[in-house]
Chains A and B, each alone.
Chain A
Amino acid sequence: MSAEPLLSLRDVTIAYGRAIAVRALSLDVHVGEIVAILGANGAGKTTTLRCISGLLRPAQGTVRFRGEDLAPHSAAEIVHLGVSHVPEGRRIFPQLTVADNLELGAYFAPKPELRRRLQRVMDIFPVLAERAGQNAGTLSGGEQQMLAIGRALMAEPKLLLLDEPSLGLAPLVVEAVFERLSGVLKGSVTMLLVEQNARLALETADRAYVLERGELVCSGTSAAVAADERVHRAYLGDDEPDAAEEQP
């Protein structure tokens, strides 16, 4: 691992109006890693990713990518800096073909370059080559997820943000998707993965951060986090009431 992290968040606080969604979060992602952010729904995972990709602005703190502060950049500019975001719910363009969706992922690339990237993505996800001429809206959930990841890969990002790729997908399909992530893609692109499915995420990632209601509760290598009972508590609570919240 190189000394300088590829992505670093320092004391980032993100709010929706008056509601604080993420509080003073610090995390690092180094080149070549797969890092997971875990936590129950509402923990702030998606909010964190949207802040990194520029769709949200932090109320406090800094987000640095390759040393550069991302705050002055728009979301589209951040893509050109090398960060691609596969959003929750996939957000592919349903009335464009698979090929068109992928093309838009490399919108500014010259034609020969575009073709090279297209070929590469279709090698990773052969089903996209099969369905190249179909409208994206007619694809199954798993295929759309692969399309969304493929589209993000067309930009040849240095950092790939994945928001709940398993959401709404059947277990076997989730298998297939995660196969790619920990197989072909690992090592060629750094990934920051948000997942509600903690076990799957911990099997895929090198390191993990666990959020609970906007705050970091534990972090470390996947093995360490998997063994930590705080993960279980973060999702399902425990029998001990929180002293601060219990009525006197």
Chain B
Amino acid sequence: MSTIFVEQVLNGFVNGCGYALIAIGLTIVYGILSVINLAHGEIFMIGAFVAYFAYAATGSYAAAVVGAVVVTTLFGLLIERVIFRPLNPQPRINSLVASVGLSLVLSNGALWVFGGVPRYYTTPLTNDVLRIGFVSFAAQRAVIVAATLATIAALALFYRGSRLGKALRAASQDLEACSLVGIEPGRLGAVAFALGAGLAGVAGGLLSPLYTMTYDMGLLAVMKAFAVVIVGGFGNVTGTILAGFLLGIAESLGGGFVSPAYQDTIVFLILVLALLIRPTGLIREHLEENI
């Protein structure tokens, strides 16, 4: 019994890797630009599909992931320039609605181009099994966890150590003050989008051997990412990472011990409850303002 429990937790942790990576991207963009991009899930989907075709072409898992990241990063830059920067002067909610339109274009574009048949692929790692104590663990999953932790570590280093990282943190605290010290806020916005999209690409590429890929996988992904961001706190990167893993595990345990059919429901239930009880997340406080 306990073996199953541990395996559930580990599986949930693997899913949590994906949730965390996708959610960080969302929260970075929100923290700096106050924009919610509902098409973020489609960027994850693009990453997965690019990985699929890259693997088919090169036979290399690493190439697949790298390809996914490159394409999604460029894509993030594109949509920031073409859609979200022009929407800057409009109320924030309009950016959200535009992102809904973008989501439609991308998911149905994928349907049109790739068709409705789900794709999947496996790497040689999928069939390798690691054994740690009494637990067996697919090597593929271990690689995903390792790569995710490495990415998060690299991100942390970047944020704490590099000048650009500090500038991004500054931007999420006071965007106008950045222009006062000579940093163009528009450029930081572009970096934020590129970074967020790139992380979604990492998630898409890394997790692509695990799941079947469909044109509409983005919707579920972004919804879950939002559950993560809300629990972790909008704009709070650390909280988001923790929440990602937590939610992955909770979902896995719920699916294993309650009912598989309701597995997806659990995440949304958590989302709804979190919003009703403590919408600002686990850590942040609500600030009063003078009017």
Contact = CB atoms under 8 A, between A and B. Distances in A.
Q: Classify A-B as touching or not with yes or no (CB < 8 A).
A: yes
Interface of A: 53-55, 74-76, 79-80, 84-85, 87, 91-96, 100, 103-105, 107-108, 151-152, 154-155
Interface residues of B, number: 17
Nearest to A75: B179
B179 A55 contact: yes
B182 A108 contact: yes
Contact of B169 (A55, A75, A87, A96): A96
Q: Which 5 A-B pairs have the closest CB atoms?
A: A79-B182, A75-B179, A91-B177, A93-B170, A76-B184
B278 interface: no
Interface of B: 163, 166-167, 169-170, 173-174, 176-185
Contacts of A107: 163, 167, 181-183
Nearest to A151: B181
A151 to B, nearest CB: 6
A80 B180 CA distance: 10
A96 B170 contact: yes
B236 to A, nearest CB: 11
Contacts of A54: 179
A75 B167 contact: no
A74 B173 contact: no
A95 B169 contact: yes
B180 A91 contact: yes
Contacts of A76: 178-179, 182-185
Q: Which of A93, A94, A151 has the most CB of B within 10 A?
A: A93
Contact of B177 (A80, A87, A108): A87
- SS class of chain A's interface: helix, strand, loop or mixed? loop
Q: Which of B174, B177, B181 has the most CB of A within 10 A?
A: B181
A94 B174 CA distance: 9
7 contacts: A75-B179, A76-B179, A87-B180, A91-B174, A96-B169, A105-B181, A108-B182
A104 B179 contact: no
Contacts of B183: 76, 104, 107
A55 B181 CA distance: 12
Given A93-B170, A108-B182, A103 B177 contact: no
Contacts of B184: 74, 76
A155 B178 CA distance: 13
A151 B179 CA distance: 13
A99 B80 CA distance: 31
